[in-house]
Chains A and B, each alone.
Chain A
């Protein structure tokens, strides 16, 4: 049905502008198209859910299509959800560090599945010793390699997991064995990426927009399609750029290194490129809100900050966050350089931002961190304490500055 493929937000039906608008209108919450609500409940009829849940979902969908005055239906807060047995793929590096803590605190039984390269738990700057002791004593661990499908299956099969949070999955082939191994699975929650959206002259990206089958994040798209096909209730979260303490992707860290060194900040082209940063704690909150939430079954959600930001704006916001003076920005054309394998800037050189209104309306979620507040949190709990993941590397900066004839005054 055209309507159902539109809900899923996949590219084919939305390849043309008209198709895109059609898809968007079909899924607008004020749409009264009956087929919309049936398409959603199709998922449940195919699953082994009880009639109870099917009725609930239909009611909610009907209420939503009727409700004109938008009321955010928070179906389950973590405190209301009965204890769940949760398997988290990952959970020791960034998103999962915060998410697992929230889930454990809410009383769920959480097991992290990792190779064990990173310590299963580490105390983070924002928690007390007591809090860490509680968390580390409660969270469980299965050591294994998710690329070893048979090995993985045998390790997770008989634990009776009800929920999977897949934080580090990249390809569909990695996900299928997990679903197959867990007959008791009630929901698969997947960390996808807004990188799946097809570049567009019209922004922001909404969940129904065309996706790019050629993107670097094709695996995420394939995984979403696989989840759709498997019949298990699933939810996919599409973050944009995630930031916050312990970020291993050098987003804010890249700027902080240069600000600390008192160096000018090289910005590709105009610096007017608009993107969107989302705090990891807001992302973790969203992940909790979709747990056992029938409204979220079969849905994808953009999760990021409430406002967007230009590249130049990020530099200035990072300066404010760390108490640095307003930075000097140096603009260059990347095409004039050959940086080899090195990245001269941490963000893709294009507009890249999404609307988060679907998550706000469906989940009653909204980001708590504004950009400067969030970057300040990251600075105070990570870089400002002297910790970072990647050491400073100014080699591409120096190439740029040299070509532009700009000398760097190295602080004494």
Chain B
């Protein structure tokens, strides 16, 4: 059987970028610093800075390696990509990391953030760090999804990603504009929350979804809009630097203050917390392989489930502290678990099977390591000293007794 293994790499720069990342020494050194002589390290600075540089960027490195290796069979390169990015919430960080990964893969990126550059929302991460994007050559603009053209000033794009809307009201204008501009590939950040609950985890692409969900209507509309290529990505929860919404912080807030961590019973509910680089690497691959990713829905998640109790343990380990878990029956105590706990109080677990099968993608999330990094950032910004009221916790704990 014929295996077409090496697609021509279009630019010498991209070739050296990919080849330099593929040396065996590179893989070894990202963990053990054994061979600082590999050429791929030169981009990280002087040899004296290698130790810190490699350690700090090891996740980026692994994710980049994932992309580079899988991208050895890219179908296209040098794409002009527009990311229409939400200005708040858990998905905001996706655009930030994706822009960086796309640039590293040799594409030209514009990020259009919804709203105004002067808005207060822009003071929060990742927006507060958009200079990092501009330093890489990413064009950052602001605008209204109802008039994307005005924001991007007549630029043309091969691929457009909507990482903003949750329903047709918000996304239709972007889809229609892209269609009118002859955009080849349309990608959408949907949500794994649209899967119907099931006795048989995990949620797998193709499983039944809640037909009334806004995201479902959007996916449907995109699939029927006759783009040359389209894909949809269904994330769950994300962690990572530049996150706009709390994830693991909820756990750190309690652990670092030696407060008990109230967990809705029984504590074995599983969820999926991906490092955002899993999403950015997946979408980058999809953009580099539009035929392979076409007409496909991807669960944009890591390939591990973690239990609620397990997450407490991992956060405690990241903080090098002990944690006390207190289970409570939310229903019986009349507690609204949605307000009391940051994740859905049920099994909520999707697996990224389509990405592995169709894109050659692999997960690089190491939750243990990710939480350690996030804990360092948590301390660095002084959040452990912040005065936080734990009203709901106190109510729960008093009821549990």
Contacts and interface: CB of A to CB of B under 8 A. Distances in A.
A30 B362 contact: yes
Contacts of B265: 270
A70 B27 contact: no
Contacts of B201: 274, 307-310
A25 B63 CA distance: 11
B310 to A, nearest CB: 3
B400 interface: no
B5 A66 contact: yes
B70 interface: yes
A312 B199 CA distance: 8
Nearest to B367: A202
A30 B368 contact: no
A28 B200 contact: no
A299 to B, nearest CB: 18
B356 interface: yes
Interface stretch (A31-39, A186-194, A251-259): A31-39
B366 A68 contact: no
Interface stretch (A15-23, A129-137, A285-293): A15-23
Contact of B27 (A18, A32, A307): A32
A22 B31 contact: yes
A270 B268 contact: yes
B368 A32 contact: no
Interface residues of B, number: 50
Contacts of A68: 5, 69-73, 360
B177 to A, nearest CB: 33
A272 B69 contact: no
Interface string A53-70: 000000000010011111
A69 B73 contact: yes
Contact of B369 (A18, A69, A274): A18
B306 A201 contact: yes
A273 interface: yes
Contacts of A200: 310
B27 A30 contact: no
A294 B344 CA distance: 45
Given A272-B347, A313-B199, A69 B360 contact: yes
Contacts of A35: 24
B313 to A, nearest CB: 6
B3 interface: yes
A313 B198 CA distance: 8
Contacts, number: 113
A273 B307 CA distance: 11
Interface in A302-329: 306-310, 312-313, 316-317
Interface string B305-345: 11101110110000000000000000000000000000000
B347 A307 contact: no
B270 interface: yes
A269 interface: yes
A68 to B, nearest CB: 4
Nearest to A21: B366
Contact of A70 (B62, B202, B268, B357): B357
B204 interface: yes
B150 to A, nearest CB: 40
Given A70-B356, A203-B305, A274-B201, A28 B5 contact: no
A225 interface: no
B269 interface: yes
B5 A316 contact: no
B206 to A, nearest CB: 11
Interface band, chain A: 35 or more
Contacts of A69: 4, 73, 292, 360
A14 interface: no
A367 to B, nearest CB: 13
B5 to A, nearest CB: 5
A269 B267 CA distance: 11
A211 interface: no
A24 to B, nearest CB: 9
Contacts of B360: 30, 67-70
Interface string A257-292: 000000000000110111000000000000000000
Contacts of A71: 1, 3
Contacts of B305: 202-204
Given A30-B69, A33-B24, A307-B200, A25 B314 contact: no
A201 B309 contact: yes
A297 B76 CA distance: 37
Interface in A368-398: 371
A272 B24 contact: no
B122 interface: no
Contacts of A308: 200-202
A351 interface: yes
Contact of A33 (B27, B199, B200, B307): B27
B299 interface: no
Contact of A351 (B69, B270, B362, B367): B270
Given A17-B368, A30-B70, A30-B362, A202 B306 contact: yes
Nearest to A34: B24
B371 to A, nearest CB: 10
A385 to B, nearest CB: 26
Nearest to A309: B200
Interface string B350-377: 0001001100101010111100000000
Nearest to A22: B31
A201 B270 CA distance: 9
Nearest to A273: B268
Contacts of B204: 306-307
A317 B27 contact: no
B38 to A, nearest CB: 13
A92 interface: no
Contacts of B22: 32
A309 B199 contact: yes
B272 to A, nearest CB: 10
Interface string A65-87: 01111110000000000000000
Interface in B1-54: 1, 3-6, 22, 24, 27-28, 31
A212 interface: no
Contacts of A34: 24
6 contacts: A17-B366, A33-B27, A63-B3, A201-B314, A270-B268, A308-B201
Of all A-B residue pairs in the complex, the 4 with the closest CB atoms, nearest first, are A201-B310, A313-B199, A17-B368, A68-B360
